[in-house]
Amino acid sequence: MYDLHVHILPGLDDGARTMQEAVEMARVAAECGTKVLLATPHMKDVNEESSVGQARSLLNELSKRVEEANIPITLVMGMENHVVPSLPAMFSRGEALVINGTKYALIEMPFFGKPAYLEQTLFDVQLQGIVPVLAHPERIECIQQDVELLVRFVERGMLSQITAGSLTGHFGSDVQRFTEDLLRRNLAHIMASDTHRPDGRRSPSLLDGLTAATEIAGNKVAQALVLETPKAILKGSKPKLTPPIHALKRRWWQIRR
């Protein structure tokens, strides 16, 4: 499996706190069948508290520690980039990072509200030749309130990354049901762990999420979430996707009074 949302670089954000904890996260991921971890520290934390150079240095050090521990996993560089008006400029300056040097970038929308600049900023990022991979839309308020907004984003060429824990109820039953609906409507393209700790509900294991996805959408769709689609993104190639399903619009006589 390929995990494209991992807070494993120690001391950069609210993820791994020490190098030892980061190595343990890699160990758990490998034991669960993950081959590649994309390190995605928060853009805001990296630029305000550290630097991109320091993040890359930590990735190199962690990769060496993982190799010394004989953990069969590869770590590559990315970032969880926040939607702010300056995001396109930050990509140009190298303060925001794409996924493994490709044209794809993990981008997180604000958890609450819908800022006026949201759609224009994402469009401007696309004009740079970058494909937004929208992080955990199932936990984003503006998507929860208007799922057709996510449909429009996907139809414009963006991708959607759901969190494994969302499918297993770690973020509550409402989020779980909403995530299941996204999966059924072809609005979930990648499943990642969004891991912050080696154990507990934010562990790097994708297995329970994979089981849940299989029960909802079948084995082929579930496997694509953790294998074919993330692998294609890491290589910078175009994944095979199924068009999203719009919400069914009922006629006036079908509306229950």
What the block records as the tokens of 123 is: 């469009």
Domain-located, residue 234: yes
pLDDT at 250: 43
d(CA 226, CA 141): 25
pLDDT band with cut points at 50, 70 and 90 for residue 75: very high
pLDDT at 4 over 90: yes
pLDDT at 248: 53
Domain-located, residue 116: yes
Report the greatest alpha carbon distance in the chain: 67
Whole-angstrom CA distances from 104 to 36, 125, 129 are 16, 10, 9
Domain-located, residue 257: no
CA dihedral 29, 33, 36, 39 (to 10 degrees): -20
- If one counts the domains in the chain, the total is 1
Q: Give per-residue pLDDT as tens, 147-194.
A: 999 999 999 999 999 999 999 999 999 999 999 999 999 999 999 999
pLDDT at 30 over 70: yes
pLDDT band with cut points at 50, 70 and 90 for residue 83: very high
CB-CB contact of 113 with 149 (8 Å):
no
Domain-located, residue 252: no
- List beta partners, residue 77: 39
Q: Give per-residue pLDDT as tens, 186-222.
A: 999 999 999 999 999 899 999 999 999 999 999 999 9
Domain-located, residue 245: no
Domain-located, residue 104: yes
Domain-located, residue 53: yes
Domain-located, residue 229: yes
- For residue 201, the one-letter residue type is R
Q: Give per-residue pLDDT as tens, 103-156.
A: 999 999 999 999 999 999 999 999 999 999 999 999 999 999 999 999 999 999
pLDDT at 45 over 60: yes
State which residues form the domain around 106.
2-240
3-state secondary structure the chain: CEEEEECCCCCCCCCCCCHHHHHHHHHHHHHCCCCEEEECCEHHHHHHHCCHHHHHHHHHHHHHHHHHCCCCCEEEECCEEECCCCHHHHHHHCCCCCCCCCCEEEEECCCCCCCCCHHHHHHHHHHCCCEEEEECHHHCHHHHHCHHHHHHHHHCCCEEEEEHHHHCCCCCHHHHHHHHHHHHCCCCCEEECCECCCCHHHCCCCHHHHHHHHHHHCHHHHHHHHCHHHHHHHHCCCCCCCCCCCCCCCCHHHCCC
pLDDT at 22: 98
**Going edge to edge, which strands form the sheet with 104-108?**
81-82, 104-108, 131-135, 159-163, 190-192
pLDDT at 256 over 60: no
pLDDT at 246: 83
d(CA 122, CA 125): 5
d(CA 97, CA 233): 14
CATH code for position 97:
3.20.20.140
